[in-house]
C-alpha cells in the first residue's frame, strides 16, 4: 500500500500530465500567422510540405474517419483491402467501388493506392463487362478516380501521368478504341443526352488532346522537383509530344468515319448527299490531319527535342538533348573523347525513346504528298467497297505513285508498318480491280519492290485487308 | 447476385436441436449428480433431485405478472444507464453518411445495394454492442450493488429473474431498433437519387433446380470454369450442345403476370474467348421443355445484360417456330396454332425412374433450357441466376422483414448475454458473448471445414509442424509414432471443436434478410425470417433453463 492519500495522488497525476505536456507543446506547437515560432514538428511539416493542405485538397470525411479510428487506421485499411479483393472476385462491383472509396479516405496520400485502384477500375473491372458501353463506364470510373487522387496529391507527377494514360492509350489503343473514342465525344449514358460527360471531357476534345494536357501537367509538376517514379525521365517527358503524334495517327485511322457520322448524325441522306458530305469531310480532314502531324513535328523536335537531360552514361555524367546531331555535339564538347561519349549517349537515348523514328515519321506525314496518299487510299477503299473498280484502280495507282516518292525521300520508313501496309493495300486494290475486271495487271508498277519484299507476309496482309470489309 | 438462397431444413433443424439439447441436458445432469455424490455422499443425490424438482417448479409456477414487473425494472435500469445515448452516435453517423457514400455515379440498382447495406449494417453494428453490454452487465451489477437481494427476497423465482432481464433488455433493444429502422428508412428514401428510387422494390422470385449438359449433350455436374477464382458461376459453351437446365416446380397459371406472361429474369454472365461482334452482347436462347412429354418450344434470341439482369416476358401462347414445330403443335395444342405455356409445357404427371419408380420430376414442373448461341463464347450462371419473377412487393415490406431479422439477432444476443451473466462476472460475460457473436458471424465456415475434415494441412499441431518444416498442405507426412500422436491430439481437438461448432449459433442466417433486400429481393419467410425465429427460440429455451440453474446455485454474496 502506498502512503499517498487520494488527494495527493491526484496532484501527482496532474503534475505528471503538466510535465508531459511541456515537450508535447514544444514539439507540436503550430506557428504564428507568419509561420514562424512553430514547434519542431510543425516546422518540419511546413519545411517538408507534409501538411494536409500542402499535399492537396483536404477531405474532411477522411480526416474524421482517421481520427475516429485512433491508431487503428492500418488495421481498418487492411480489412478493407481484403474486402475489396473478395468483392472483386465475387464480381460485386457496387460494393467494391464503395470499399475503394473507403480505402482512399483512410489512405488519401498513399499514391500507390490511387494508382492500383485506378488501374483496377479502368482495366480489370472494365474487362469483366460484356457491353462496350459498360466497359467505357468503368474506364471513366478509373480515370475519375485518378483525377480525385490528383486533387488530393498535388505534387504527384505519377498520378497525373497515370490519368493521362487512361485518357490516351486506354481509350485510344484498346480493342474497343473505335467505340471508346466515339463515346468520349458522345457519352452512351442517357443522362448526357448524346453529349459529353462534363466531368470527364469538359472541353469536348479528342481523347489524345485531353491526355496530352494531363501528361503536360505531369511534366510541369515533375519539373518543379517532384520526382516521378514510373520510368526513365527522358521517356516520361516525351508523353505530351507523343500524345500529339497519337492524336494525328488516330485522326488518320478513325477521323473520317467519326467526323462523317458526327455530321450526318441521324439524318437520312441521299446517295449524292452522302458523296458530297464524304468529300467535304475528306477535304477538311486532309488538312487537319496534315496540320496535326506538323504540330507533332514541332512539339517533338522543338519542345521535347530541346529539353535537357542530365544522365549517367557509362559512368560519365553528361547533359544531352534529343535534338542533337554530330555538329551540335562537337560544338559543346571540349575534347574528341568527350565528343565520342556525348554522341554515344545521345544515340543511346534517341534509340531508347525512338526519337529518330518519330522525327522522320512526323516529317514525312506532314508532307502534303503523304497526306494526299492517305486520303486517296481511303477513297480507293470506299470505291472498292462499292465495286466501282475503275475509280478504285485509279485512286490506288495514284496512292502507289505518291508513296513510292515518299519511300524514296525517306528510305528509313520502309520499316514503318502503318505506312508499308497502306502501300500494300493500295497494290492489292489495284491488282484486284484489274482481275475483277477480267484484265491482267501490268508486270511493272510503283511500289513493286516493296510489295515483293513482303511476299512472305502476304497472307497476313490479305487477312487484315479483308477484315476491313467485314460488317464489323 | 452472389448468394444462393438454400432452403432452411426445418425438420432437420428441430431434430438436431432435440439431439444437442437432450445430450447437453443429460451430460449436465450426469456431471452435476456425480459432483453432488462425490462432495456430499448419499445426501448429494437428494440435494440433486431437489434441485431438479426446484427448477421444474420454477418452470411450472412461472408468473407472467412477476416477469413483466422484473422486465419493467430492467427497462428502467437500462434507461438510467443511458442506453439511449446510442441515438446520438446514430444521428451523427447518418448526418455524415452521405460523405462516405459517393455512389451517385453508380447505376441505380447498384446505388440501392450500397445504401440499403449501409443502413442495415449501421443499425446492427450500433444496436448489438449496446444490448450486448446491457445484458452482460445487468445481473453482475445487481449482484455487486446487492440490489438483486431486494428482488430475490421477494417471492420471485430465479427463472423469472432471468426471463424478466431478457424481456427488459429486449424491450429496450426493440425500441432502439424501431426508431433506428424508421430513421434509416427515411434516410434511404431521402438520400437515394430519384432514378435509383425506382429500384427500391422487392422481387418475388420462384427459384428452380439447376443442372447442366456438357458440350456433347451429356449430363454434367457443372459447367466450365473460365478461370474465375470464385467457382460460383458455371459456364456453357456457345453453339454446342451445352445447356443449363432449370426445373421449376408447382407451375400454375398463378405464376403468370396480369397480362398472362411468364416473367423470366436472369443474371447471366458473358465470357468471350474472342472479341467477336463488339456492337452487341452475347445471344442466348430459352427452350421451354415439358419434362413429361418432351415437347420443346424455343424462343427468340435475346442478348445478355450482365450484372444488371434482364426480364424476359414469355407469352402464355407461344408462337410456333418452323414446320416441324407446327406439326407437333397440331398434336399438342389441338391445332390452335400456338403452344399454351401452362397446358402444353407444364407436366401433368410426375416423371418416374423407369426402374425404381422413384419420382424424378414431380407433376406441375416446367423445364427451361438455356443455350449460348455465339460460337466460341460462353455464358456463366448459377442456380439463382434464372427465376420466375412474380409481382413485386413493396420495398417497405421487405425492409420490415430485414429489420425483423436484426430484431431476432438482437434477441439472441440478449439471451446469450443474460445467460452468461448468470454464471460469470460482467467483463467475462461480455467477452464470452462477444466471442460467440464474432465466431458465429464470421468463423463458422472455417470451423465447418475443420470439423468436416475439408481443410487441407491437418489440425493445429500438424499445421505447426508443416510450417516449421516448410511442407505444403498436400505433402504426405512421414509415417512414424510422432505423426500418429500429433494426429491423435489434433483429432481430439477437432472433436472439441465439433462440440463448439454445434453449440455456437450461426449468425449468418440473420444476415440473409439483408442479402435478400440489398439484392432487390423480397425477404423469404422460409429461408430468412423463419430460420432467425427458430434459432432464437432454439437458444432461448436451454439458455433460460441454464440461467435459472446457474442463478439458483450462485453465491449472491460474492461480489
pLDDT tens-place string over residues B105-162: 667 777 888 888 888 888 888 888 888 988 998 888 888 777 777 776 677 788 888 8
Is the pLDDT at A417 greater than 60, yes or no? Answer: yes
Is the pLDDT at A471 greater than 70, yes or no? Answer: no
- Site from A57, A68, A89, A94 to mutate, B interface, most B CB atoms within 10 angstroms: A94
**Considering only alpha carbons, which residue of chain A is nearest residue B303?**
A131
> Taking all residues of chain B, what is their mean pLDDT, rounded to a whole number?
86
Least Cα distance to B339 among B322, B358, B320 occurs for: B320
Between residues 63 and 122 of chain B, which touch chain A (CB distance below 8 Å)? 96, 99-103, 105-106, 110-111, 113-114, 117
Q: B1 vs A196, which has greater pLDDT?
A: A196
Is the pLDDT at B428 greater than 90, yes or no? Answer: yes
Distance from the A443 Cα atom to the nearest Cα atom in chain B, whole angstroms: 39
C-alpha distance from residue B547 to each of A62, B1, B52, B153, B427 (Å): 45, 42, 14, 18, 17
Is the pLDDT at A326 greater than 50, yes or no? Answer: yes
**Cβ–Cβ gap B103/A144 under 8 Å:** no
Is the pLDDT at B395 greater than 50, yes or no? Answer: yes
Is the pLDDT at B311 greater than 50, yes or no? Answer: yes
Mean pLDDT for the stretch of residues B37-65: 84
Mean pLDDT for the stretch of residues A61-70: 66
Distance from the A1 Cα atom to the nearest Cα atom in chain B, whole angstroms: 22
**Cα separation of the two ends of chain A:** 90
* pLDDT tens-digit readout, B235-290: 999 999 999 999 999 999 999 998 989 999 999 999 999 988 888 899 999 999 99
C-alpha cell at B254: 398463378
- Which residue shows C-alpha cell 451517385? B104
Q: With contacts defined as CB-CB under 8 Å, which chain B residues touch A144?
A: 105
pLDDT value at residue A264 = 86
Is the pLDDT at A207 greater than 90, yes or no? Answer: yes
Which range has the worst mean pLDDT, B7-21, B96-110, B390-404? B96-110
> Taking all residues of chain A, what is their mean pLDDT, rounded to a whole number?
88
Nearest CB to B230: which of A90, A141, A176? Answer: A90
Q: B424 vs A65, which has greater pLDDT?
A: B424
pLDDT-derived band at A266 (thresholds 50, 70, 90) equals: confident
Q: A77 vs A414, which has greater pLDDT?
A: A77
Which residues, listed in sequence order, are joined to residue B311 by a DSSP beta bridge? B265
Length of chain A (residues): 472
Interface size between A and B, measured as CB pairs under 8 A: 65
Least Cα distance to A289 among A174, A182, A377, A176 occurs for: A377
**Cβ–Cβ gap A89/B230 under 8 Å:** yes
**Cβ–Cβ gap A98/B101 under 8 Å:** yes
**Cβ–Cβ gap B100/A105 under 8 Å:** yes
Taking the C-alpha atoms of residue B117 and residue B125, their distance in angstroms, rounded to an integer, is 12
Taking the C-alpha atoms of residue B500 and residue B448, their distance in angstroms, rounded to an integer, is 11
Nearest CB to A98: which of B103, B269, B305? Answer: B103
Q: With contacts defined as CB-CB under 8 Å, which chain B residues touch A89?
A: 228-230
Q: B373 vs B325, which has greater pLDDT?
A: B373
pLDDT value at residue A434 = 94
**Considering only alpha carbons, which residue of chain A is nearest residue B279?**
A132
Is the pLDDT at A324 greater than 60, yes or no? Answer: yes
**Cβ–Cβ gap A61/B99 under 8 Å:** yes
Between residues 254 and 313 of chain B, which touch chain A (CB distance below 8 Å)? 269-270, 272, 275, 277-279, 281-282, 304-307
Three-state secondary structure call for residue B215? coil
Find the DSSP H helices in B274-352.
Answer: 323-332, 341-345
Between residues 178 and 237 of chain B, which touch chain A (CB distance below 8 Å)? 228-230, 232
Mean pLDDT for the stretch of residues B79-83: 76
pLDDT-derived band at A68 (thresholds 50, 70, 90) equals: low
**Considering only alpha carbons, which residue of chain B is nearest residue A191?**
B195
Which range has the worst mean pLDDT, A18-32, A382-396, B139-153, B417-431? B139-153
CB contact at 8 A, B287 and B413: no
Residues of A near B (CB-CB distance < 8 A)? 60-61, 64-65, 89-95, 97-98, 101-102, 105, 129-132, 134, 141, 144, 175-176, 179, 472
C-alpha distance from residue B374 to each of A383, B45, B382 (Å): 32, 78, 20
| % of chain B residues with pLDDT over 70 | 92
pLDDT value at residue B193 = 78
**Cβ–Cβ gap A132/B102 under 8 Å:** no
Nearest CB to A179: which of B105, B278, B281? Answer: B278
**Cβ–Cβ gap B306/A131 under 8 Å:** yes
Distance from the A87 Cα atom to the nearest Cα atom in chain B, whole angstroms: 10
Q: With contacts defined as CB-CB under 8 Å, which chain B residues touch A130?
A: 269-270, 272, 281-282, 304, 306
Is the pLDDT at B526 greater than 90, yes or no? Answer: no
User: What backbone phi and psi angles, to 5 degrees, belong to B542?
Assistant: -65, -35
**Cβ–Cβ gap A130/B281 under 8 Å:** yes
**Cβ–Cβ gap A130/B102 under 8 Å:** no
Taking the C-alpha atoms of residue B262 and residue A428, their distance in angstroms, rounded to an integer, is 55
Three-state secondary structure call for residue A331? helix
* pLDDT tens-digit readout, A341-381: 999 999 999 999 999 989 998 999 888 899 889 889 988 99
**Cβ–Cβ gap A179/B100 under 8 Å:** no
With a CB cutoff of 8 Å and minimum separation 6, the contacts of B342 are B251, B252, B253, B256, B316
Q: With contacts defined as CB-CB under 8 Å, which chain B residues touch A83?
A: none
Is the pLDDT at B214 greater than 70, yes or no? Answer: yes
Nearest CB to A176: which of B111, B113, B278? Answer: B278
**Considering only alpha carbons, which residue of chain B is nearest residue A197?**
B105
**Considering only alpha carbons, which residue of chain A is nearest residue B116?**
A95
Q: With contacts defined as CB-CB under 8 Å, which chain A residues touch B2?
A: 90-92
| % of chain B residues with pLDDT over 90 | 35
Nearest CB to B2: which of A92, A98, A131? Answer: A92
Is the pLDDT at B558 greater than 70, yes or no? Answer: no
For residue A24, the surrounding DSSP H or E stretch is: helix A6-28
C-alpha cell at B35: 459432483
Which range has the worst mean pLDDT, A161-175, B113-127, B385-399, B480-494? B113-127
Is the pLDDT at B328 greater than 60, yes or no? Answer: no
Is the pLDDT at A50 greater than 80, yes or no? Answer: no
**Cβ–Cβ gap A95/B113 under 8 Å:** yes
Taking the C-alpha atoms of residue A16 and residue A261, their distance in angstroms, rounded to an integer, is 78
C-alpha cell at A101: 472509396
pLDDT value at residue A262 = 87
With a CB cutoff of 8 Å and minimum separation 6, the contacts of A460 are none
Is the pLDDT at A391 greater than 90, yes or no? Answer: yes
Distance from the A52 Cα atom to the nearest Cα atom in chain B, whole angstroms: 19
Distance from the A215 Cα atom to the nearest Cα atom in chain B, whole angstroms: 26
Q: With contacts defined as CB-CB under 8 Å, which chain B residues touch A175?
A: 275, 278
Q: With contacts defined as CB-CB under 8 Å, which chain A residues touch B117?
A: 95
pLDDT value at residue B1 = 53
pLDDT value at residue A211 = 97
Q: With contacts defined as CB-CB under 8 Å, which chain A residues touch B99?
A: 60-61
Q: With contacts defined as CB-CB under 8 Å, which chain A residues touch B307?
A: 91, 93, 129, 134
| % of chain A residues with pLDDT over 70 | 93
Is the pLDDT at B90 greater than 50, yes or no? Answer: yes
Q: With contacts defined as CB-CB under 8 Å, which chain B residues touch A101?
A: 100-102
Q: With contacts defined as CB-CB under 8 Å, which chain A residues touch B125?
A: none
pLDDT-derived band at B332 (thresholds 50, 70, 90) equals: very low
pLDDT value at residue B333 = 47
| % of chain A residues with pLDDT over 90 | 53
**Cβ–Cβ gap B307/A95 under 8 Å:** no
Is the pLDDT at B303 greater than 60, yes or no? Answer: yes
- Hey, how many other C-beta atoms are within 10 angstroms of the C-beta on B24? 15
pLDDT value at residue B475 = 87
pLDDT-derived band at A430 (thresholds 50, 70, 90) equals: very high
**Considering only alpha carbons, which residue of chain A is nearest residue B110?**
A94
CB contact at 8 A, A319 and A306: no
Amino acid at each position: 500500500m502506498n502512503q499517498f492519500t487520494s488527494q495527493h495522488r491526484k496532484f501527482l497525476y496532474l503534475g505528471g500530465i503538466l510535465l508531459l505536456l511541456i515537450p508535447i507543446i514544444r514539439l507540436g506547437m503550430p506557428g504564428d500567422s507568419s509561420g514562424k515560432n512553430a514547434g519542431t514538428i510543425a516546422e518540419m511539416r511546413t519545411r517538408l510540405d507534409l501538411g494536409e493542405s500542402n499535399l492537396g485538397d483536404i477531405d474532411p470525411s477522411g480526416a474524421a474517419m482517421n481520427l475516429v479510428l485512433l491508431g487503428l487506421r492500418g488495421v481498418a485499411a487492411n480489412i478493407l483491402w481484403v474486402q475489396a479483393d473478395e468483392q472483386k472476385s465475387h464480381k460485386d462491383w457496387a460494393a467494391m467501388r464503395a470499399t475503394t472509396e473507403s480505402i482512399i479516405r483512410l489512405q488519401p496520400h498513399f499514391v500507390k493506392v490511387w494508382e492500383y485502384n485506378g488501374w483496377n477500375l479502368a482495366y480489370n473491372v472494365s474487362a469483366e463487362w460484356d457491353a462496350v458501353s459498360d466497359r467505357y463506364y468503368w474506364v471513366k470510373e478509373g480515370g475519375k478516380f485518378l483525377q480525385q487522387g490528383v486533387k488530393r496529391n498535388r505534387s504527384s507527377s505519377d498520378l497525373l501521368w497515370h490519368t493521362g494514360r487512361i485518357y490516351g492509350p486506354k481509350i485510344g489503343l484498346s480493342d474497343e478504341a473505335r467505340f471508346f473514342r466515339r463515346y468520349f465525344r458522345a457519352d452512351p449514358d442517357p443522362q448526357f443526352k448524346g453529349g459529353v460527360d462534363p466531368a470527364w471531357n469538359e472541353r469536348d476534345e479528342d481523347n489524345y488532346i485531353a491526355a496530352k494536357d494531363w501528361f503536360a501537367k505531369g511534366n510541369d509538376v515533375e519539373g518543379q522537383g517532384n520526382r516521378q517514379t514510373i520510368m526513365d525521365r527522358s521517356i516520361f517527358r516525351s508523353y505530351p509530344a507523343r500524345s500529339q503524334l497519337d492524336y494525328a495517327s488516330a485522326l488518320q485511322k478513325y477521323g473520317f468515319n467519326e467526323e462523317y457520322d458526327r455530321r450526318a448524325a441521324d439524318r437520312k441522306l441521299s446517295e449524292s448527299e452522302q458523296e458530297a458530305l464524304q468529300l467535304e469531310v475528306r477535304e477538311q480532314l486532309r488538312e487537319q490531319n496534315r496540320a496535326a502531324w506538323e504540330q507533332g513535328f514541332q512539339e517533338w523536335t522543338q519542345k521535347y527535342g530541346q529539353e535537357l537531360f542530365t544522365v549517367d552514361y557509362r559512368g560519365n555524367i553528361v547533359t544531352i538533348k534529343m535534338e542533337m546531331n554530330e555538329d551540335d555535339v562537337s560544338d559543346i564538347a571540349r575534347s574528341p573523347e568527350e565528343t565520342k561519349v556525348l554522341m554515344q549517349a545521345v544515340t543511346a537515348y534517341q534509340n531508347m525513346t525512338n526519337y529518330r523514328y518519330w522525327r522522320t515519321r512526323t516529317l514525312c506525314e506532314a508532307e502534303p504528298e503523304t497526306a494526299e496518299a492517305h486520303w486517296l487510299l481511303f477513297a480507293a477503299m470506299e470505291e472498292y467497297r462499292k465495286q466501282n473498280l475503275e475509280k478504285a484502280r485509279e485512286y490506288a495507282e495514284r496512292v502507289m505513285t505518291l508513296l513510292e516518292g515518299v519511300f524514296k525521300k525517306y528510305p528509313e520508313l520502309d520499316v514503318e508498318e502503318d505506312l508499308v501496309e497502306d502501300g500494300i493495300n493500295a497494290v492489292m486494290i489495284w491488282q484486284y480491280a484489274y482481275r475483277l475486271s477480267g484484265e491482267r495487271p501490268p508486270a511493272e508498277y510503283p511500289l513493286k519492290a516493296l510489295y515483293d519484299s513482303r511476299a512472305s507476309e502476304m497472307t497476313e496482309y490479305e487477312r487484315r485487308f479483308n477484315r476491313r470489309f467485314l460488317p464489323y | 447476385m452472389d448468394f444462393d438462397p438454400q432452403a432452411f431444413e426445418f425438420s432437420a433443424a428441430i431434430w438436431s436441436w432435440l439431439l444437442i439439447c437432450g445430450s447437453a441436458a443429460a451430460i449436465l445432469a450426469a456431471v452435476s449428480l456425480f459432483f453432488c455424490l462425490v462432495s456430499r455422499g448419499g445426501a448429494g443425490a437428494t440435494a440433486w433431485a431437489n434441485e431438479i424438482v426446484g427448477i421444474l417448479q420454477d418452470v411450472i409456477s412461472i408468473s407472467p405478472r412477476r416477469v413483466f414487473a422484473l422486465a419493467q425494472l430492467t427497462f428502467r435500469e437500462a434507461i438510467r444507464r443511458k442506453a439511449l445515448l446510442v441515438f446520438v452516435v446514430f444521428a451523427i453517423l447518418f448526418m455524415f453518411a452521405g460523405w462516405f457514400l459517393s455512389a451517385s455515379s453508380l447505376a441505380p440498382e447498384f446505388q440501392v445495394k450500397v445504401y440499403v447495406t449501409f443502413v442495415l449494417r449501421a443499425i446492427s453494428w450500433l444496436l448489438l454492442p449496446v444490448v450486448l453490454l446491457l445484458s452482460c452487465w445487468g445481473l453482475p451489477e445487481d449482484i455487486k450493488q446487492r440490489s438483486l437481494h431486494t428482488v430475490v427476497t421477494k417471492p420471485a423465482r430465479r427463472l423469472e429473474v432471468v426471463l424478466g432481464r431478457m424481456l427488459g433488455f429486449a424491450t429496450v433493444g426493440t425500441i432502439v431498433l424501431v426508431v433506428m429502422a424508421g430513421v434509416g428508412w427515411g434516410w434511404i428514401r431521402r438520400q437515394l437519387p430519384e432514378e435509383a428510387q425506382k429500384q427500391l422494390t422487392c422481387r418475388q422470385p420462384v427459384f428452380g433446380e439447376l443442372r447442366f449438359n456438357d458440350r456433347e449433350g451429356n449430363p454434367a455436374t457443372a459447367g466450365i470454369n473460365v478461370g474465375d477464382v470464385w467457382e460460383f458461376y458455371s459456364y456453357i459453351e456457345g453453339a454446342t450442345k451445352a445447356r443449363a437446365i432449370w426445373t421449376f416446380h408447382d407451375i400454375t397459371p398463378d405464376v403468370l403476370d396480369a397480362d398472362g406472361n411468364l416473367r423470366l429474369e436472369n443474371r447471366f454472365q458473358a465470357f468471350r474467348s474472342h472479341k467477336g461482334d463488339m456492337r452487341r452482347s452475347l445471344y442466348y436462347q430459352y427452350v421451354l421443355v415439358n419434362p413429361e412429354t418432351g415437347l420443346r418450344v424455343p424462343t427468340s434470341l435475346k442478348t445478355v445484360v450482365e450484372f444488371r439482369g434482364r426480364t424476359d416476358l414469355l407469352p402464355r401462347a407461344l408462337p410456333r417456330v418452323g414446320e416441324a414445330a407446327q406439326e407437333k403443335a397440331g398434336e399438342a395444342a389441338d391445332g390452335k396454332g400456338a403452344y399454351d405455356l401452362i397446358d402444353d409445357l407444364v407436366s401433368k404427371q410426375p416423371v418416374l425412374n423407369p426402374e425404381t419408380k422413384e419420382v424424378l420430376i414431380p407433376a406441375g414442373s416446367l423445364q427451361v433450357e438455356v443455350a449460348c448461341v455465339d460460337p466460341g463464347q460462353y455464358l456463366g450462371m448459377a442456380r439463382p441466376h434464372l427465376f420466375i419473377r412474380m409481382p413485386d412487393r413493396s420495398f417497405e415490406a421487405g425492409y420490415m422483414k430485414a429489420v425483423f431479422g436484426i430484431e431476432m439477432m438482437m434477441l439472441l444476443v440478449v439471451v446469450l448475454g443474460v445467460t452468461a451473466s448468470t454464471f460469470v462476472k460482467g467483463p467475462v460475460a461480455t467477452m464470452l458473448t462477444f466471442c460467440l457473436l464474432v465466431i458465429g458471424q464470421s468463423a463458422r465456415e472455417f470451423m465447418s471445414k475443420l470439423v468436416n475434415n475439408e481443410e487441407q494441412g491437418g489440425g493445429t499441431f500438424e499445421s505447426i509442424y508443416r510450417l516449421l518444416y516448410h511442407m505444403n498442405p498436400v505433402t504426405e507426412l512421414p509415417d512414424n509414432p510422432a505423426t500418429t500422436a500429433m494426429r491423435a491430439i489434433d483429432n481430439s481437438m477437432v472433436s472439441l471443436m465439433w462440440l463448439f461448432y454445434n453449440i455456437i449459433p450461426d449468425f449468418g442466417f440473420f444476415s440473409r434478410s439483408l442479402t435478400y433486400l440489398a439484392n432487390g429481393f423480397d425477404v423469404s419467410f422460409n429461408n430468412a425470417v423463419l430460420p432467425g425465429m427458430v434459432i432464437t427460440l432454439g437458444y432461448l429455451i436451454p439458455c433460460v433453463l441454464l440461467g435459472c440453474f446457474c442463478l439458483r446455485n450462485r453465491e449472491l454474496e460474492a461480489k
